[in-house]
Structure 1
């Protein structure tokens, strides 16, 4: 069941991060301003909503046994982790600590960002399937 839940969460992530993310959200979600927070939180809310839809559809179609407390915890984690990762401070701090300043200058932050999201989705899938 882990693989199924992970794929559902990953599809939701791709939908929310690419076709459903507005230009405004993408441009401002890491800004240190009220506008940045609104863009960030609305983008994270999209992730939670799309994840809930894909998991709900998966539960109906595939008869997944997901408890409400595990679902609530996983969706909260999806929203919070996505918001924190997209603020970029942790990503850039990690890259500086790991000696990846040149990689960061040449677009590497987007790759580290996506890797962090996949890790967060893995933890969410583990939460849902371990319950």
Structure 2
């Protein structure tokens, strides 16, 4: 069940991060003030909705019996972690701490960002399949 849940959450992440993310969200989600948070939270909400729909689809098609409260907690976790990671400062701080400034300057930030998102999804999948 873990692999099924993890795959669907990853698929949801890809759908929400690429075809469903607007140019406005991508440009402003790390920006300052209310406008930045509004873009950030609308993008994170897209992740929650898409992942929630895919979990419901998985439950219907594969016969999972996901408890409602843990499933809701997993979706809140996905939305919250996505919002924080997409503020960009956590990834920048990690890359400074790990002494990866050259890699960051060469485009490595996007890879670390995606790795952080996937790690958060794996935590959600582990909790839901436990």
Residue 43 of structure 1: CA displacement?
0.1
Alignment partner of 1:73 is 2:65: no
- Aligned positions of 1:51-90 closer than 5 A: 51-90=51-90
Residue 44 of structure 1: CA displacement?
0.2
Residue 64 of structure 1: CA displacement?
1.2
Find the counterpart in structure 1 of residue 98 from structure 2.
Answer: 98
Find the counterpart in structure 2 of residue 33 from structure 1.
Answer: 33
Find the counterpart in structure 2 of residue 113 from structure 1.
Answer: 113
Find the counterpart in structure 2 of residue 21 from structure 1.
Answer: 21
Residue 69 of structure 1: CA displacement?
1.1
Corresponding pairs, count = 130
Residue 33 of structure 1: CA displacement?
1.9
Residue 34 of structure 1: CA displacement?
1.2
Q: Aligned with 1:106: secondary structure?
A: helix
Gaps of 5+ in 2: none
Distance in 2 between the 1:108 and 1:92 partners? 10
Distance in 2 between the 1:14 and 1:120 partners? 14
Coordinate RMSD, CA, aligned = 0.6
Q: Aligned with 2:46: secondary structure?
A: helix
Distance in 2 between the 1:68 and 1:33 partners? 34
Gaps of 5+ in 1: none
Q: Aligned with 2:11: secondary structure?
A: helix
Distance in 1 between the 2:90 and 2:70 partners? 26
